[in-house]
Chains A and B, each alone.
Chain A
Amino acid sequence: MTDMADLKEVMGSIFRERRGQRGELIGLLQAVQAKLGYLPAEAMMAIARFARVPESQVFGVASFYAQFRFTPVGRKRVMVCQGTACHVRGAPKILEEVERRLGIKPGETTPDMEHSLDTVACIGACALAPTLMINKETHGKLTQKKVTELFQKNDGTGGD
């Protein structure tokens, strides 16, 4: 969990660049998540005070958009694309393989906090279907075998 003093510092640095207006709400949430990986309740309460929006509405907005998470994420965020092109080219099997390799379902994080697994609607790399992303890196033209290799490599060395 985030230390309260750290959190204050993070929030302070984010607030300094903004004016505290309602229109900034989504940008504020995105900035916090970019720094912490998720949205702790304390951060959302601080945003509510700063943007002068009720806490309920801050949570309402945060829970509406798929991008936001309320629990900590692993160091490597795995996002398996579920777009149409990927679906037609076997995305369901790719997702199952990733689930088996990591031992978690979408929305979950491995106990060692190494990997989080999510599905995304489309990452827009359809010509390379099926695809997945690990943090900001896109991997395309996947097969079950490639997925196995991808996570063996990642698991053993802890490299990229």
Chain B
Amino acid sequence: MAPAERLTLHVCQGTGCVSSRSPQIQAALEKEIVQSGISDRAGVKLTGCHGFCQRGPIVIVEPEGIFYSEVKPEDAVEIVRSHLVDGKPVERLFYIDPISGKPVPRYQDIMFYKKQHRVILRNCGHIDPEKIDDYIASGGYKAIRKALLEMKPQQIIDEVKKAGLRGRGGAGFPTGQKWDFCRQAPGNKKYIICNADEGDPGAFMDRSLLEADPHSVIEGMVIAAFAIGANEGYIYVRAEYPLAVQRVGMAIRQATERGYLGKNILGSGIDLDIHVKEGAGAFVCGEETALMMSIEGRRGMPRPRPPFPAQSGLWGKPTIINNVKSLATVPVIIDRGAGWFGSIGTPKSKGTVVFALTGQMANCGLVEVPLGTTLRETIFTIGGGLLGDRKFKAVQTGGPSGGCIPESLLDTPVDYDSLNAAGTIMGSGGMVVMDDRTCMVDIARYFINFTTLESCGKCVPCRQGTRQMLDVLTDITEGRGKPGDIELLEELGQGIKDGSLCGLGQTAPNPVLSTIRYFRDEYDAHIKQGRCPAIACKALIEYQVDLQKCAACGLCKRACPAEAIGWEKKKPATIDQAKCIKCGSCLSACPKKFGAIVVSSPGIPEVA
């Protein structure tokens, strides 16, 4: 065997790729390699998420770096025979650049990857998350030795402080400072908690990281525990992430076997046990005091701070709660030093940030960029711009706590402070791009509906105020808006912000207030003219047949579930507006070459 020539097929097995049958691809590749008799010079390796989920399942041939996208199990034979045996890569599986329209064989040359700076996601897609040796081989568990055997707790805290690491869960509180509070808090029993209750709809970086590189989070937790003096830890992860739960459990077992967890870690005299707690589907449990209530087996309802968890947290003991990404960053800071880390990013927001780039994008997936990178660069250069020929309207960050940013602010450098100034927040990293078909009032209603359902009910302004806002927004989107509604929303929003205990209530009005701030004309169009400029609000749109274009094929009649379409052979179809439920079935049934179904919102030119 000649190791230098050995080719390894990295098969992505994150949730996205698994859903499009990557385990079957791996099995088929393994089988074909054996059958072709090349097991001595080629192998298959399971990896976590590569981040480019939209183009999944992804297979990368290393060390060449040939990138295959949207692979099917049936492609395995061709990949093995053509590429591995004959040395001819399978061109039809190459990624096509959305801007140039040309195939790009190597992943290092794909814009989506080329412009990223991967620190937190350093191992994702490169190592087998189910094998601790793979993590160690890529430099893992090196920082833990340095921290536990060569450094003092205060030195670690100082290093993290010097690095300027701010909480990657979204609020951006300095991590080192938080650790310092906890270290100084009296008591022998302290806890370290990893917050993996990634509840923001539209965000999935914590899931990917836990699935792809669970040991980096565990290593960060051990270092944090040593720094603050904790000997027990929890990873609180959503039950909706079964694969992450499974991989974390496996990693904890392996780390314990190797002496990186448990009693007397690496002979340092330090103990740490980590338990996995599965969340049960409550968004508010991402808030730290609610999360601790949930671990204690209670309803996840936040409590006032102070006392802060660093002084009195889980079971009344000093507790540190850090986000998955913050913890995964800690080993790199210890290993490469605060100076190196601080050289990335901006003076006030150092390091990198991971975004889940989704929505109407050409390239959806996980991207990691230095803080301070502009939205334009992230969305248009890395993300490849919008799908098809659609026009950018807004980008939403921070989930239900954040806001929508218009095109005029696309050159905003992304950091904690600039996003706050723009009326949104960094949040945990969801970045949803919206095009001209997305109605901003409907989006505001969508988020308020979410927070109404997820409000724990403790604070009246949040519990009742969000419901009132929802009612007003529902009225507007259904054509019952009144003059004064916008002002009422603003007043309610301010009241909820002022009168709520936790981050959920304090930020719940952001999606509404930011859309009013930047897209007030859309609210006005709904209220004053009864039309939805994005042609999205059901109550304000109409489906009609373009008689010139209708080929009288009758497909729309067959598709209509409401019997609203009248059609006879050789006669164009008609839509009975009284019966139409506006489901869009006719539109998707009408063959593209005819395009005879037209949607409009009265008062504006027709748009297909």
User: Max chain A CB contacts within 10 Å: which of B56, B204, B279, B456?
Assistant: B204
Number of A interface residues in the complex (CB < 8 A): 50
Q: Interface code B119-141, partner A: CB below 8 Å = 1, 0 otherwise?
A: 00000000000000000000000
Tell whether, in the assembled complex, residue B561 and residue A100 are in contact, meaning their CB atoms are under 8 Å apart: yes
In the bound assembly, the distance between CA atoms of A23 and B293 in angstroms comes to: 9
In the bound assembly, the distance between CA atoms of A82 and B430 in angstroms comes to: 15
Does A4 sit within 8 A of B, measured CB to CB? no
Chain B residues near A29 (CB-CB < 8 A): 280
Chain A residues near B585 (CB-CB < 8 A): 97, 144
Chain A residues near B52 (CB-CB < 8 A): 127
Does A87 sit within 8 A of B, measured CB to CB? yes
A83 CB contact (under 8 Å) in B19, B53, B201 = B201
B300 CB contact (under 8 Å) in A53, A64, A136 = A64
Q: Report 25 cross-chain contacts, Cβ distance below 8 Å, ordered by A residue.
A: A30-B278, A65-B282, A67-B281, A82-B201, A85-B359, A85-B364, A87-B446, A88-B434, A96-B583, A97-B585, A122-B240, A124-B207, A125-B16, A126-B203, A126-B204, A126-B364, A126-B430, A127-B54, A127-B356, A127-B358, A128-B20, A131-B19, A138-B16, A144-B584, A144-B588
Taking CB atoms and an 8 Å cut-off, the chain A residues in 110-153 that contact chain B are 120-129, 131, 136-140, 143-145
Tell whether, in the assembled complex, residue B446 and residue A84 are in contact, meaning their CB atoms are under 8 Å apart: yes
User: Max chain A CB contacts within 10 Å: which of B19, B56, B365?
Assistant: B19
Min Cβ gap A101→B in Å is 10
Tell whether, in the assembled complex, residue B430 and residue A84 are in contact, meaning their CB atoms are under 8 Å apart: yes
Tell whether, in the assembled complex, residue A85 and residue B202 are in contact, meaning their CB atoms are under 8 Å apart: yes
Chain B residues near A143 (CB-CB < 8 A): 588
Tell whether, in the assembled complex, residue A83 and residue B202 are in contact, meaning their CB atoms are under 8 Å apart: yes
In the bound assembly, the distance between CA atoms of A25 and B300 in angstroms comes to: 13
A66 CB contact (under 8 Å) in B200, B202, B280 = B280
Does B486 sit within 8 A of A, measured CB to CB? no
Q: Interface code A66-78, partner B: CB below 8 Å = 1, 0 otherwise?
A: 1110000000000
Tell whether, in the assembled complex, residue B19 and residue A139 are in contact, meaning their CB atoms are under 8 Å apart: yes
B359 CB contact (under 8 Å) in A61, A66, A88 = A88
Known: A65-B300, A67-B280, A127-B16. 9 other contacts (CB 8 A): A23-B297, A27-B278, A87-B201, A121-B454, A124-B207, A125-B53, A128-B19, A139-B19, A144-B583
Chain A residues near B456 (CB-CB < 8 A): 64
In the bound assembly, the distance between CA atoms of A27 and B202 in angstroms comes to: 27
Q: How many contacts between A and B, using CB within 8 angstroms?
A: 158
In the bound assembly, the distance between CA atoms of A96 and B240 in angstroms comes to: 23
The chain B residue with its CB closest to the CB of A122 is: B201
In the bound assembly, the distance between CA atoms of A122 and B453 in angstroms comes to: 14
User: Max chain A CB contacts within 10 Å: which of B201, B203, B396?
Assistant: B201
Taking CB atoms and an 8 Å cut-off, the chain A residues in 84-116 that contact chain B are 84-89, 93, 96-97, 100
Q: Given A124-B15, A125-B16, A128-B53, A26 and B297 touching (CB < 8 A)?
A: yes
Q: Given A60-B299, A122-B200, A144-B585, A65 and B241 touching (CB < 8 A)?
A: no
Tell whether, in the assembled complex, residue A64 and residue B53 are in contact, meaning their CB atoms are under 8 Å apart: no
Does A11 sit within 8 A of B, measured CB to CB? no
The chain B residue with its CB closest to the CB of A66 is: B281
Tell whether, in the assembled complex, residue B280 and residue A126 are in contact, meaning their CB atoms are under 8 Å apart: no
B199 CB contact (under 8 Å) in A22, A24, A121 = A121
In the bound assembly, the distance between CA atoms of A145 and B18 in angstroms comes to: 22
Tell whether, in the assembled complex, residue A89 and residue B201 are in contact, meaning their CB atoms are under 8 Å apart: no
B296 CB contact (under 8 Å) in A23, A30, A82, A128 = A23
Instruction: For chain B, give the interface size range.
Output: 35 or more
Chain B residues near A14 (CB-CB < 8 A): none
In the bound assembly, the distance between CA atoms of A125 and B443 in angstroms comes to: 20
Tell whether, in the assembled complex, residue B583 and residue A93 are in contact, meaning their CB atoms are under 8 Å apart: yes
In the bound assembly, the distance between CA atoms of A126 and B56 in angstroms comes to: 13
Tell whether, in the assembled complex, residue B584 and residue A88 are in contact, meaning their CB atoms are under 8 Å apart: no
Q: Interface residues, chain B, CB within 8 Å of chain A? A: 15-16, 18-20, 52-54, 56, 198-204, 207, 238-242, 277-283, 294-300, 356, 358-360, 364-365, 396, 399, 430, 432, 434, 438, 443, 446-447, 450, 454, 456, 561, 583-585, 588
Min Cβ gap A140→B in Å is 6
Shortest 9 CB-CB distances between A and B: which pairs?
A25-B297, A127-B53, A138-B19, A66-B281, A65-B280, A84-B202, A83-B201, A85-B358, A127-B364
In the bound assembly, the distance between CA atoms of A100 and B560 in angstroms comes to: 11
The chain B residue with its CB closest to the CB of A25 is: B297
Does A45 sit within 8 A of B, measured CB to CB? no
Chain A residues near B434 (CB-CB < 8 A): 88
Q: Interface code A25-54, partner B: CB below 8 Å = 1, 0 otherwise?
A: 111011000000000000000000001010
In the bound assembly, the distance between CA atoms of A124 and B197 in angstroms comes to: 12
In the bound assembly, the distance between CA atoms of A128 and B20 in angstroms comes to: 10
The chain B residue with its CB closest to the CB of A90 is: B584
In the bound assembly, the distance between CA atoms of A131 and B358 in angstroms comes to: 13
The chain B residue with its CB closest to the CB of A131 is: B19
Tell whether, in the assembled complex, residue A88 and residue B295 are in contact, meaning their CB atoms are under 8 Å apart: no
In the bound assembly, the distance between CA atoms of A83 and B240 in angstroms comes to: 13
In the bound assembly, the distance between CA atoms of A67 and B283 in angstroms comes to: 11
Min Cβ gap A104→B in Å is 15
Q: Given A84-B446, A89-B359, A97 and B583 touching (CB < 8 A)?
A: yes
A51 CB contact (under 8 Å) in B16, B18, B297, B360 = B297
Min Cβ gap B302→A in Å is 13
Tell whether, in the assembled complex, residue B54 and residue A64 are in contact, meaning their CB atoms are under 8 Å apart: no
Chain B residues near A123 (CB-CB < 8 A): 15, 240
Tell whether, in the assembled complex, residue B399 and residue A140 are in contact, meaning their CB atoms are under 8 Å apart: no
Chain B residues near A68 (CB-CB < 8 A): 280
The chain A residue with its CB closest to the CB of B204 is: A124
Tell whether, in the assembled complex, residue B360 and residue A88 are in contact, meaning their CB atoms are under 8 Å apart: yes
Chain A residues near B203 (CB-CB < 8 A): 122, 124, 126
Min Cβ gap A45→B in Å is 16
Tell whether, in the assembled complex, residue A137 and residue B399 are in contact, meaning their CB atoms are under 8 Å apart: no
In the bound assembly, the distance between CA atoms of A49 and B304 in angstroms comes to: 31
In the bound assembly, the distance between CA atoms of A22 and B293 in angstroms comes to: 11
Q: Given A85-B358, A121-B201, A144-B585, A22 and B296 touching (CB < 8 A)?
A: yes
Chain A residues near B277 (CB-CB < 8 A): 26-27
